[in-house]
Amino acid sequence: MKAQEQLIQSEYSEIMQKSYIDYAMSVIIARALPDVRDGLKPVQRRTLYDMYELGIRYDRPYRKSARIVGDTMGKYHPHGDSSIYEALVVMSQDFKKELPLIDGHGNFGSIEGDGAAAMRYTEARLEKITQEVFLGDLDKDVVDFVPNFDETEKEPAVLPVRVPNLLVNGAEGIAVGMATSIPTHNLGEVIDGVIAYMKNPNISTAEMLEVIPGPDFPTGGIVINKDELLGIYSTGSGKIKLRGKVKVEDVKGGKKRVVITEIPYTMVGANIGKFLADVAALADKKDTTDITDISNQSSKEGIRIVIELKKGADTDNFCNLLYKKTRLEDTFGVNMLAVANGRPETMGIIPIIKHHVDFQYELATRKYTSLLAKEEEKREVQEGLIAACDVIDLIIEILRGSKDLKMAKGCLTQGITEGIRFKTKASEKDAKKLRFTERQATAILEMRLYKLIGLEIEALMKEHDKTLANIATYKDILENRSSMTKVIINDLKAVKKEYATPRRTHIDNVAEAVFEEKPIQEEDVVVLVDRFGYARVIDPATYERNQETAEDESKKIIFCKNIDRLCLFSSTGQLHTIKVLDLPFGKFRDKGAPIDNVSNFDSSKEEALFIEALPNIIGKPVFFASKKGMIKTVMGEEFDVARRSAAATKLSGSGDEVICVGILSGEDTVVLHSDKDYFLRLSADQVPLLHKTAAGNRGMKVAANEKLKDAFILSSGDEKKIKANGGEVSLSRLHIGKRDGRGTKR
């Protein structure tokens, strides 16, 4: 008989909520956010520990990155090789980390955004500081080890890092519903800050900023909002304003050049290329006419971006232009979020240092407890050996008279003499008094004869004295908080002395950049738009010299001012405005720029029907015709809008689309043409003048399955002919009908 089935009913929303919370916490705790104690994400911690276990030390040969990645993934981090290799690469890049933790050999990427070579080509090993300061005490039982994902290995829950790595190397990570962004800081200053906190736990954030004045980015640069740092480091969130470092050099001929030697940290990677493109765009858009050349002369020695300027250029004004309109001045969003006591928490600089100091006391307590236990064991053995030297003849007699090791050991530890042959009763009597411990007896039985040499015995006595001194020291450290504090501080000072480097980032209060734009000189220009949607601007003289060619090759020629705006009407009923200044100005044979690139117009989703300069349509009626037969005119003033895109007309329902836009005068006529080859010609006065928010009035009756195909504006004297129904129709010979008529079949 089958066991009775039991159905468990659950609320779907509750299951989804629980599952999502479990997933979110897994991402937050086990992937995206660093631990406040060691400043490492799980993937970073596991990679470093795996390298430690593989013996890839700083003083040993490099090993293939693929070996490290594979071993880490197989043992500790089963989340894909790309995330492990990316973490390894970042930990080796000195332009991203204040303190690189891995010594990379090969192509590990560049500050300009070049990616690292594949892991099969690169090699790596631990940096010296990583081995000594991050992993050095792992053998002293200072941290807990937890099972790995399949419980076949053990991994440290946290690394025994002796410096506040969360502040030194910073962190970036996106979790679920939260993200962390912590800037890097100078190692020496952070160590001084920790020492200051240990000496005065009530230190304020303002006092701490006298020791740690602010972030220290690997790329240098300048922090320009010093006064705002107090609020940022108090709350753990805010925005740090950064600038690159610029100097002006004189060039022959009285010219000058602006040289960028340090960049904002946010510009690391592909943003350097974007910065160069943005500077070039300033010249193309005529925001400045001072640039004659741009070159990136950066190398392994450092950043050097050179911008050559015209003679007489105002360098201060030009630098302010770069600050205002490029990423040479940028913001670094700070959100000092980390996992503390198993929970994500946003902390200011004091709480972060407090967590680190508490962790250091915990590490020191476990470390010196472990060392004390080892010294106690050593003392026990040493005292046993010293005592054995005093009765060595008796011990030899016991060993020679014993039948086996067990019998000899029983005599040494408990004075059991049964079965042992002694030379004299006195020896047997003395043997019964022996009470060595188990550990001492084992050491005595394993002792080599050369240890009985006088010098060896003397060395043993000295070693015993040293052991007693160590025990006293360790007990003092464990029993007195001040002694432990002194040890931690001395350890930090030693790390600072060996590994600290000078500050790179300058911190100050700098006034906001003010760029004085030169007034644009108004002048006549000609805009040429070709059939591919490329537009360019030329001067009238160039147009006159190439007029015939321009008329043959251009879909639209617009005469206007350089300060004007163009109005582009699309098939979706949208108006897109374009500044003439945004179009490239140049030679007649220049290609120009796609209209898509200088406006919100999208040629993949809409068709450009009509384009004209705004002053050329002001005061004139603009004609609209749609597929559903609706027609109207709108006065051009309604299209004088500040926005880049706006509705030009209302469509009459789904499926409707604008098919014709143009300027209509009182002497013009309009011809409507349906896809069933019906034609209707109307005089201009029959087209209603409405607002752009109106859909229009019906211009031509169309059947249910019929739509307007084309609409044409005919001026007086036009002889336009089109092909229809296998023949040719002369539009100017059609008789003028009435609006909302059926028209003539052709």
| Catalytic residue positions, numbered | 121
Q: What is the β-pairing status of strands 524-530 and 305-309? A: unpaired
CA distance linking residue 404 with residue 392, whole number of Å: 19
Burial class from Cβ neighbours inside 10 Å (0-12, 13-18, 19+) for residue 296 reads: middle
DSSP letter for 683, please.
E
The alpha helices in 271-314, defined as continuous H runs, are 271-284
Please name the amino acid found at residue 609: L
| 714 DSSP β-pair partners | 669
Three-class SS of 119-159: CCCCEEEECHHHHHHHCCCHHHCCCCEEECCCCCCEEECCC
Q: What tokens were used for 185?
A: 């800081």
CA distance linking residue 165 with residue 173, whole number of Å: 15
**Closest to 447 in 3D by CA, of 414, 412, 422, 421:** 412
Q: 499 to each of 130, 315, 431, 584, how far by Cα in Å?
A: 11, 39, 58, 53
Please name the amino acid found at residue 480: N
Question: Helix (H, G, I), strand (E, B), or coil: what is residue 258?
Answer: strand
Buried b or exposed e, range 114-136, using 16+ CB within 10 angstroms = eebeebeebbbbbbebbbbbbbb
CA distance linking residue 245 with residue 508, whole number of Å: 13
Give the CB-side neighbour count of residue 528, counting CA atoms within 13 A. Answer: 27
Burial class from Cβ neighbours inside 10 Å (0-12, 13-18, 19+) for residue 584 reads: middle
DSSP letter for 29, please.
I
Question: Helix (H, G, I), strand (E, B), or coil: what is residue 524?
Answer: strand
Q: Which secondary-structure segment (H or E) carries 24?
A: helix 12-27
CA distance linking residue 657 with residue 651, whole number of Å: 7
Category of 61 on φ-ψ map: left (φ > 0), alpha (ψ -120 to 50) or beta: beta
Buried b or exposed e, range 407-430, using 16+ CB within 10 angstroms = bbbbbbbebbbeebebeeeebbeb
